[in-house]
Structure 1
Amino acid sequence: MKYVDEFREPEKAEALRKEIEKISQQLNKHIKIMEVCGGHTHSIFKYGIEEILPNNIELIHGPGCPVCVMPRGRLDDAIALSQHPNVILATFGDTMRVPGSKDSLLQAKAKGADIRMVYSPLDSLQIAKNNPDKEVVFFALGFETTVPSTAFTILQADAENIRNFSMFCNHVLVIPALKALLDNPDLQLDGFVGPGHVSMVIGTDPYQFIAQQYHKPIVVSGFEPLDILQSIWMLLKQLVENRCEVENQYNRLVEKAGNQIAIKAMNEVFEVRETFEWRGLGELPYSGLKIRPEYSQFDAEVKFTIPNQKVADHKACKCGEILKGVLKPWECKVFGTACTPETPIGTCMVSSEGACAAYYKYGRFSNFNQKKLSEKQTATLTS
């Protein structure tokens, strides 16, 4: 299959592994690389990439899972919206099982709320057309990857004069999150594997501040095994050559200036919020999007009364620390016991891009991760 098989060839993977090992020996120190995107985390676990890297190369999981970074209060707000009379709430499947302070959307649906899973915002617009006597609210979330589809849906609703449709906007921006991580003195990173899907929209130019201000290399990467291995090799090559640049490994899909049509639609419909709460990262200035006043008739936060309360995470859940790269999934005490995909306590175990979900699905039985878990247990017992 084109653009798949050729990025999974074992011979090329072995060649890259040897080159990575050779460069890591030249560096002769512990290297921490963060993969920002949850899609990369899943690929790393699925293909066992972390297991074949040299011992001095450590991969850190970042906050690039849009469902995971959503705070519990915003989920409670979505459930409150679904309980308004004559409201149909539509959202993506990943969001359905995310635990709120009391219920998930799936549990709220079981109790009688009209909550429907859709594959795109346009599906929710069609639901509004089919139910003119109902108010349809789309629970919109995601990084810049999904913002264009949300924007185009609002433009379509405006063009067709569909007034029983609105969006509860929870879109977030990747650049403020990266800046917050770089400003964290407890997290010393040597480089970034940059997000591929987000970069298809915004391009590579917005990452220049990472190299210029923070003097860290970043390589935007694809999601196949050879993509990630090549990106790690490119990062290590920059480090050994004392370079800090923005490089694009995913150049078959990502352009320097991004997708201008998508960016134009985003800028027309949305503006930046002054502040937005993230799970784990807290309140980040200018890190979220809201619907512009010109399209306020499609803004659920204008149409409806929303509690908008801040809700603390479950005390046993360490999703916040995992999203910041401070902890690994297996370092959470409830991982794989009280917290599983069937009975999730935190969002990282629910989402298809969550680090805990990736480790639970692919990594918990590997020799590499069992060794890490054993080391952690030993350290806890002897401390």
Structure 2
Amino acid sequence: MKYVHEYRNKELSQKLINAIHDSAKGEYTFMEVCGGHTMAIQRFGIPSLLPPEIKLLSGPGCPVCVTEKSYIDTAIAYARLSNTIIATFGDLMRVPGSSSSLELEKALGSDVTIVLSALEALKLAQNKPEKRIIFLAIGFETTAPGTAVAVDQASKAGVKNFFILSAHKLMPPAMKAIVDEGIKIDGYICPGHVSAITGSAIYEDIARKYKIPCVISGFEPLDLLQTILALMRQVNENKPAVEIQYTRAVQPNGNTRARTMMKQVFTVADSEWRGLGNISKSKLILTEKYQQYDALKMIPVEVEPTISDKGCICGEILKGLKTPLDCKLFGNECTPENPVGACMVSGEGACQAYFRYQPQTETT
């Protein structure tokens, strides 16, 4: 636990909590846009430590949660094709499609395998040249560089049976879309892992144009409390800016090599987001040079009509309009063992975070 206890120090935490209470000069609404932050906030009972003037909202920070249902239906359609292996991160297995899930398709005989990276999917393609390998490429700027490397290596090695179904999304357009929709946000708790790749500059427009403070945060209690205090001070002084609290992992310029690889392999396009609708220039798709690895372009497939989830309010939760506790299905029809919506499936989903930790949070 070395280098962890330091960020969970009780005395330092109490000093920050006292400073937060002393700094309260009105009401504050802060939104985290990282699934890791959502889980950490609930796990450590952060809301129970704050004054009632501070409201924390969970935003579109879970990549599985914001992936549109039609993408899941498309992945299922590909899973049903012969001579095809679907390579996916484990989180996607149980996300409900319109009539099935990848987990169910695997049980029915489809070849669906869990991988830990795009490079593992590429290796599978090299080991099984007689099969088409379709990698379900989801995630924000954090995982996109890994996909880019795999596609570039496939191209250099002349691999013909490796494809990706891209659902890679960009975080800043979603953050702007939430504000454009009129949802009240006084400050953003910005994602740590995304920012380790991108650097801090991607939030400058949000602070400058939208006048919303942005603080890039780590994931431990001291990180989050320090971030909340920094946001409060920006609001109190009416000086919105971009700060890096998570300095041990995030630099202003980010990972330039990873960004270069992303730019080489991907270009931007409009994309549907679960709950947020179509957001301009928010998705990464392969450039013309790498089109031969685009599953949608290279492998025709018939996809069933997408049916919306009845009673599920995942979309409203992702926009910060409601919390999981507002959902009539939460904890009843919808549980981690029997999820109705994506927000209950993913380990970074708000519904699963509330299901796992909210009772504990309420009693601390």
TM tier, shorter chain? over 0.9
Does the Cα contact within 8 Å between 1:74 and 1:308 map onto a contact in 2?
A: no
Whole-Å separation in 1 of the counterparts to 2:5 and 2:302: 49
Instruction: Give, in whole Å, the separation in 2 of the partners of 1:363 and 1:213.
Output: 35
**Corresponding letter in the other structure for 1:218:** C
User: How many correspondences in the alignment?
Assistant: 364
Contact in 2 for aligned 1:352/1:358 (Cα 8 Å): yes
Contact 1:277 1:284 in 2 (8 A): yes
| Partner of residue 141, structure 2 | 144
Q: Structure 1: how far apart are the matches of 2:295 and 2:50?
A: 47
Q: Which amino acid aligns with 1:23?
A: S
Q: Could you say which residue in structure 1 is the equivalent of 2:23?
A: 23
Aligned-pair CA distance for 1:310: 6.4
Look up the SS of the partner of 1:34 in the other structure: strand
Contact 1:89/1:136, CA 8 A, preserved across alignment: yes
Distance 1:94 1:237 in 2: 37
Give the equivalent residue in structure 2 for 1:33. 30
Normalised by the length of structure 1, the TM-score is: 0.93
2:76 aligned with 1:79: yes
Q: Match of 2:285? A: 290
Aligned counterparts of 1:286 and 1:300: Cα–Cα separation in 2 = 20
Question: What are the equivalent positions in structure 2 for 1:201-216 lying under 5 Å apart?
Answer: 201-216=197-212
Residue number in structure 1 paired with 2:123: 126
Deviations 1:207-258 (A, max 9, x none): 0111111111110001111111100011111112221111110111111121
Identity %: 46
How far has the Cα of 1:307 moved from its partner? 4.0
Contact 2:173 2:281 in 1 (8 A): yes
Please give the alpha-carbon distance, in whole angstroms, between the structure 1 residues aligned to 2:39 and 2:58: 10
The CA distance in 2 between the partners of 1:283 and 1:264, in whole Å, is 26
| Equivalent AA in structure 2 for residue 71 of structure 1 | E
Query: What is the Cα deviation at residue 368 of structure 1?
Result: 5.7
Query: Which amino acid is the alignment partner of residue 294 of structure 1?
Result: K
Moved over 3 A (4+): 306-310
1:43 matched to 2:34? no
The alignment yields a C-alpha RMSD, in angstroms, of: 1.3
Matched, 1:107 2:104: yes
Match of residue 258, structure 1, among 229, 254, 260 = 254
SS of match in other structure, 1:68: helix
SS at match of 2:65: coil
Distance 1:83 1:360 in 2: 33
Shift of residue 128, structure 1, vs aligned partner: 0.9
- Paired position in structure 1 for 2:168: 171
Shift in alpha-carbon separation, 1:37–1:144, aligned structure 2, 3 A: same
Question: Counterparts of 2:68 and 2:353 in 1: how far apart (Å)?
Answer: 20
- Which of 355, 358, 363 aligns to 1:363? It is 358
Match of 1:378 in 2: none
Structure 1 residues 228-377: aligned runs within 5 Å: 228-273=224-269, 275-307=270-302, 311-367=306-362
Q: Indicate conservation of the 8 Å contact 1:200/1:255, yes or no.
A: yes
Give the Cα separation in 2 of the matches to 1:74 and 1:225: 35
| Cross-structure match for 2:157 | 160
The equivalent residue for 1:372 is none
Residue in structure 2 matched with residue 380 of structure 1 by the alignment: none
The residue type paired with residue 208 of structure 1 is E
The answer on whether the counterparts of 1:87 and 1:135 sit within 8 Å (CA) in structure 2 is yes
TM-score for both structures, normalised by structure 2: 0.97
CA distance in 1, matches of 2:241, 2:278: 29
> Shift in Å at residue 84 of structure 1?
1.5
State how far apart, in whole Å, the 2-side matches of 1:81 and 1:15 are. Answer: 54
In the alignment, the residues of structure 1 paired with residue 360 and residue 249 of structure 2 have an alpha-carbon distance, to the nearest angstrom, of 34
Alpha-carbon separation, structure 1, partners of 2:350 and 2:305: 24
Secondary structure in 1 aligned to 2:211? Answer: coil
Match for residue 227 of structure 1? 223
Query: Does residue 199 of structure 1 match 2:195?
Result: yes
- SS for the counterpart of 1:141 is strand
